[in-house]
Chains A and B, each alone.
Chain A
């Protein structure tokens, strides 16, 4: 069974631009969560999607948004990029919910210049 995949793996953007990251969960998994990892703040929960609905949200500004498609693939979007958005963005999939074992993708490393 294929693992969680994320694209692209690396991305360089400039301040003010927007970016879209993609995550494909393990086949059969319906819950997709997104996390931001930075050296200063560690791993922080962004949001979780299930059946195309955002079910839970972390404490991030509205510039961070996401969606989930009917095949459970998810995208997250960051608009008006700031230098502080430079981070490793990880997505995780679970069978039904965050309470299930979480399987992480390899991450997208975003650099904002």
Chain B
């Protein structure tokens, strides 16, 4: 099956810093989504981005499907950005979202 690898596994930032999270996948996909899981376990959808670039406030994401990776950018990080960031992909027509292992982000005040 498809492999999804996220890097780095852990990241500690000072408030106000910028960061880039990476998601590599081993096969072509027709669906890629980024999620943020808060400390209470709630998964929030950040981006639906099978290809191209999207921006939402301080967050932006880019997926280069031909090279099988996606990047999530967080600018001017805040303590509320802390949590685990997951990317998830659906391999063509499988009907299953496969999640990476996540990047755990801690933003210190």
Partner-B contacts on A (CB < 8 A): 33, 35, 37, 42-45, 48, 55-56, 58, 88, 90, 92, 97-104, 106-107, 109
Contact = CB atoms under 8 A, between A and B. Distances in A.
Contacts of B44: 104
A109 B97 contact: no
Q: Size class of B's contact patch? A: 20 to 34
Contact of A45 (B42, B48, B97): B97
Interface string B69-109: 00000000000000000101010001111111110000000
Contacts of B90: 98-99
B97 A98 contact: yes
A73 B24 CA distance: 34
29 contacts: A33-B97, A42-B99, A42-B101, A42-B102, A43-B86, A43-B88, A44-B99, A45-B96, A48-B96, A56-B95, A56-B96, A58-B96, A88-B41, A90-B41, A90-B43, A92-B43, A92-B97, A98-B31, A98-B97, A99-B95, A101-B33, A101-B48, A104-B35, A104-B42, A104-B43, A104-B44, A106-B42, A107-B42, A109-B41
